[in-house]
Amino acid sequence: MNQTRLMMGMPITVEIADAPVTDEAFNAVFDYFQYVDEKFSTYKETSEIMQINRQELSLEDASDDMKLIFALADQTYHETYGYFDIRHKGMIDPSGVVKGWAIYNAAVLLQHMGYHNFYVDAGGDVQAVGKNNQGRYWRVGIRNPFNAHEIVKIVSVTNCGVATSGTYIRGQHIYDPKNGADTIDDILSLTVIGPNIYEADRFATAAFAMGKSGIAFIENLNDFEGYAIDANGVATLTTDFKRYVYHD
């Protein structure tokens, strides 16, 4: 059973393969995403992050979740040599770490409710747990950045996260914080498979900001694999990415 709702400016889908499934489970997940959106959205003037941006609220007086996100963002900044930075042109936008963190927490919520086989997909970033209703690993498609209706690769995954950063759907929303570039044009898509969606998402964002060298960054991370497509349509895979590729 699955449900999809448009939230946080993107479709969020939850599919649960266990039985029985109750509406309570879906409502709990979507209520959580609503909470995250109300707190971290830079499009809502009433959100806590916008209060911080307007200097109406100090980080010291912010909520525990806000302090945690800032701490995770700082950690990622250092781990990615400054390529992940939530501060840009006087604005703080933590969405590059919030989405993966929220998906991961939603998955934990379902596990605490007793579910063992499900996935949570927010805007194409997926936390896959257990198996689908056919008893197989979950399959996640990677879109062609030149044709969003075409899937170029399908990966078969369980108990891990799959995140894709790119400009082909939302346009230029990732920038290079180290070199001051507002556009990244040598790479169009970078997909990362990691131990969970929080880890995969934050490193996918940072690696994309690195441009064509980002796939080498992923190659050097333990327990991560990546698939990049550059502006010429050439794909570059990390060494063991092929073990996830689904074949009929």
pLDDT in tens, the chain (248 residues): 999 999 999 999 999 999 999 999 999 999 999 999 999 999 999 999 999 999 999 999 999 999 999 999 999 999 999 999 999 888 999 999 999 999 999 999 999 999 999 999 999 999 999 999 999 999 999 999 999 899 999 999 999 999 999 864 444 445 555 565 556 678 999 999 999 999 999 999 999 999 999 999 999 999 999 999 999 999 999 999 999 999 87
- Give the strand pairing for 235-237 and 225-230: antiparallel
How many of the other CB atoms lie within 10 Å of CB of 78? 9
Q: Give the model's pLDDT for residue 183.
A: 63
Which residues have a Cβ under 8 Å from the Cβ of 101 and sit 6 or more positions away?
69, 72, 198, 201
CA torsion angle 222 228 234 240 (round to 10): 30
Classify residue 233 by its DSSP letter: S
- What pLDDT does 173 receive? 46
Q: What integer pLDDT is reported at residue 247 of this predicted model?
A: 85
Q: What is the DSSP string of 13-55?
A: EEEE-SSS--HHHHHHHHHHHHHHHHHH-TT-TTSHHHHHHTT
Q: Which architecture does CATH list for 2-244?
A: Roll (3.10)
The residues that bridge with 197 in the sheet, in sequence order, are: none
Q: What is the pLDDT of residue 88?
A: 86
Report CA-CA distances (Å) from 149 to 81, 102, 142, 190. 35, 27, 10, 17
CA–CA separation, 17 vs 130, rounded Å?
9
Angle made by CA atoms 63, 201, 236, in degrees to the nearest 5 = 165
CB atoms within 10 A of CB 231: 14
> Are the CB atoms for 241 and 225 separated by under 8 Å?
yes
Token pair in block for residue 218: 């992923």
Tell me 117's DSSP state. Answer: S
- Cα-based angle 111, 114, 117 (whole degrees, multiple of 5): 65
pLDDT at residue 214, rounded to an integer? 96
Q: What pLDDT, on a 0 to 100 scale, did the predictor assign at position 182?
A: 58
Q: What does the pLDDT read at residue 248?
A: 74
